[in-house]
Structure 1
C-alpha cells in the first residue's frame, strides 16, 4: 500500500525522469552500444513499444531524422529494428505505435503487487546488518576457542583413552610372558597347549585352551585347573 501511495504521489516526477533518460538514449542511440542494446530490449522484448510517446520521437536521432536523407542515410525517416513487430496482424502497421512511457505505466499497473513486494524485500534487506547473518569468523579461530572452553572435558577423555590402552597393552604383555607352548603335550584341533609359569601367572600347569578360553581371563583358567 505504501509503495502504491508513494508511486501515485511521485508519479509525475518519475515520468519526467524517465522521459529525460529515454530522450538521451534516443539521441545517443548509435554512439553507445550499451545504451543501444538497452533501448532495443525495452522496445522489442519488454514493453513492445517505440519511442517515448510515439515512433516520431526517433526524429531526435541524427541517423533516423528525415534530414539525414541529404547525406545519404538509409535510416532517414525510419526507426530502429526493435520498433518492428515480429509477426504483425493483417492490416496492421509493422511497427509498435505505442510509446514506451505509456507502455511502462501500463506494465507497472499490471504488476503493482510484484513490484511492491520487491520494494518491500529491498527495504527489509537494507535493515539487516551483514555481520549478524554472515559468519565472519574463520574455522581455525572458532576451533581454538572451542578447545579453550572445553579443555577439561577434552583432557579427561584423552586420559581415559590412554588408561584403557595401557590396561589392554599390559594384559597382552602378560599373556605373552606367561603363556608358553607346552612341550610334548598334544591337543585336539582348534586348541593350543599352554603352560603358565612365573611369579605373577598363578599355578603352573599344561592345559589345552581354545582362543575363547584364553580371552575369558586367567581366573577361568584357574577354575579349570582346580576342577581336574
Structure 2
C-alpha cells in the first residue's frame, strides 16, 4: 500500500513539472510565432516577399531581420520544448536542451571575443553605424530604428552631427539640392518638454549655422 502511494506521489510531481514546462514553452512558441509573423508582414508590406532579391539591396541593417531571425529561433525552440514536454519525447527535449546550450555557448564566446578584440569590434561598430547613416532614408524601418536609438541615447551619429555628411540628403556639399542639406534628423534635437507635437524640421540647417558661426568667430 505504501509503495503504491509513493508511486502516485512521484507521478503527480512529474505531471506538474511536465505541464509547467509545456505552459512555459507554449508561451515561448506563441511569442516566437508573433515575432515571425510581424517580420513576414513587414516584408510583405515593403514588397520584399514578392521580390526576394531586394533583401540585400539595403546598404544598412533591415530591422525586420531581427524579428524574422529571433522569431524563427523562438518558434523552433518553443515547438520542440512544447511537444517534447507534452509527449515526453526525449529526442525533442534533447534537441531543446542542446539548442539552448549552444545559444549560451555562443553568447559566452561572443562576450569573450568582444573583450579580447575590443579595438577591432569598435572599428566594426563604427563602420556598421556609418553604413546605416548612409542608408537612413532608404528604409522606413531603419529610419525609425536610428531615430529611436538617437533619442534614447541622446546622441547624433556615431561621433557627432558631422557624421550625417555621409548621407546624401544631409551632406553639406554645394551641389546638394536637398532641403535637409547641412542638417540632422529631428531625433538629434533636444526636445522641449513644453512641446506636445514633435518638430520634425528642428534639424534643418543646424550644421550650416554652426559653420557660419565658426567662420565669423575666426
TM-score (ref. length: structure 2): 0.35
Structure with the bigger RCO (C-alpha within 8 Å, sep 6+) is: 2
Query: In terms of Rg, which structure is larger?
Result: 1
TM-score (ref. length: structure 1): 0.34
Greater strand content: 1
